[in-house]
Amino acid sequence: MSELDSRIPNNVGLSHDRRLQRALLRWQPAFLDWWREMGPEGFQGDEVLLRTAVSVEPSGWSHFDFVRMPEYRWGIFLAPPEADRRIGFGDFAGEPVWRAVPGEFRTDLRRLIVTQGDTEPASVEQQRRLGRTAPSLYDLRNLFQVNVEEGRHLWAMVYLLHAHFGRDGREEADALLERTSGDVDRPRILQAFNEPCDDWLNFYMFTMFTDRDGKYQLMALAESAFDPLSRTTRFMLTEEAFHMSVGETGVGRIVQRTADLMAAGDDHPEENGAFDLGLLQRHINFWFAASLDLFGSEISSNAARYFASGLKGRAREKRRTDHAALDGVYRMLVADSGSLREREVPLRNAMNEVLRDDYIRDCERGVARWNRILDQAGIGERLRLPNRRFHRRIGVHADHRFDPDGNLIGEAEWEERRADWLPTEADRDVVRSRMVRVTEPGKMAHWIAAPRRGVHGRPLDYEYVRLS
């Protein structure tokens, strides 16, 4: 029997490491119990057209077929090794990459892997009830595809913990199934993964902004001197691209529906079941700010240590010229004595902010595509990202109030204007009132436009989920 046909499909030679194989097979039932309890609610017995990873070859890494989600073939896949790969940055630049965990970096590496791993089941938990109000079978299928791939990404991190961290790793892998998104006593590690995501507007915003943070975290870890982590995250990025596209195109389809109504002379699209641009802007403000927090503090000794030791680099490190980052500085504006002042920070201590810069530019491109929809419809209004200082709860801006333009404001003005800038309870009521499930193939909820094409060559009116 090939490794791909085994109980845990893999390309890591699991059958040749019986001890590791037994450990993962013991973890598998706990994962399946978690999936049945915390995975998509009410659809475990339905057949879904899903993409399953079967290889790491770009020419044919996935297979499409109808699958019941508890029977999905979650596997362990690492990108192919690079011959004579060298460490690309930090104090060990130029040395051979590590195949095993160096003892002095064991704690930091485990922390990075656990934090990344914790985000994967968290998002499944956040989204578990969304199927009840899916705007179409097409969207329902895409939700489930995101969910099962987050499950596979959890398997990727659990493999690293079991394979390289002994008893500590096994205990951490167990704990990944014991925390729960939003739980008062045992919440997920990062706050954005404890926020409610119980309607489709928030789901699209989450996959646009929060999954995009995931892209940049994975890109930074893909540079790691610990080669198994690098190879794991490089393959995860192949699947992560789909998650971001679900969010970006989902919001784009919402903008398209609103723009179509406005272009037809409807000045109040919300009265006809769509979402007005102000409500969309407030949701952009919330999820963009929450996702910015995921990068960590602007000035970080942990980030400096991770870079120096080669554990976590910058995205696309090979494109940069200074791989040591010892002499450079990063200039940022911070609140000081009631005003914004420029501060110079040693570049290594600003690595979170460097990664955040790349993320913001990527998000700006997505918002620009939404604005082209408005432009093509002859609508003068525009959506935008708030300033990076707005509504931050982690880092140097967390103890101050800023408006969406990044201006420092007082507490009184913040309280007076926050309903203009962030989703209100009335907004949430409006969104919830629109969430009506549509199950007829090819039909869409009234608040969202149809996508341009179906999944993997299928037509839009294909039965992507066979509901029982």
Q: Please write the tens of the pLDDT for every residue from 35-92.
A: 999 999 999 999 999 999 999 988 889 999 999 999 999 999 999 999 999 999 999 9
Provide the domain count of the chain: 1
pLDDT at 40: 97
Inform me whether the pLDDT recorded for 1 exceeds 80: no
Encoded tokens for 329: 């500085």
Q: Please write the tens of the pLDDT for every residue from 283-312.
A: 999 999 999 999 999 999 999 999 999 999
Q: What percentage of the chain exceeds 90 in pLDDT?
A: 96
pLDDT tier, 4 (very low <50, low <70, confident <90, very high otherwise): confident
pLDDT at 269: 83
Beta strands in 58-121 (DSSP E): 62-68
pLDDT at 270: 83
Q: Which residue in 109, 124, 88 sits closest to 243, CA to CA?
A: 124
The arithmetic mean of pLDDT across residues 9-29, rounded, is 96
Q: What is the mean pLDDT of the chain?
A: 96
The arithmetic mean of pLDDT across residues 403-416, rounded, is 98
pLDDT at 266: 77
pLDDT at 272: 84
In three-state secondary structure terms, 308 is helix
- Per the rule left: phi > 0, alpha: psi between -120 and 50, beta: everything else, 395 is left
pLDDT at 446: 95
In three-state secondary structure terms, 325 is coil
Encoded tokens for 98: 């590590």
pTM: 0.96
Q: Which residue in 230, 346, 247 sits closest to 291, CA to CA?
A: 247
- Listing DSSP states for 20-33 in one string gives HHHHHHHHHHHHHH
- CATH no. for residue 312? 1.10.620.20
pLDDT at 268: 82
Structural contact between residues 30 and 174, judged by C-beta atoms closer than 8 angstroms = yes
pLDDT at 82: 94
Encoded tokens for 127: 């989204």
Q: Please write the tens of the pLDDT for every residue from 261-276.
A: 999 987 788 888 899 9
Query: Distance between CA 76 and CA 154 in Å, rounded?
Result: 10
Inform me whether the pLDDT recorded for 391 exceeds 70: yes
Domain extent for 201: 3-466
The arithmetic mean of pLDDT across residues 176-188, rounded, is 97
Query: Distance between CA 113 and CA 274 in Å, rounded?
Result: 41
pLDDT at 74: 97
Q: Please write the tens of the pLDDT for every residue from 114-154.
A: 999 999 999 999 999 999 999 999 999 999 999 999 999 99
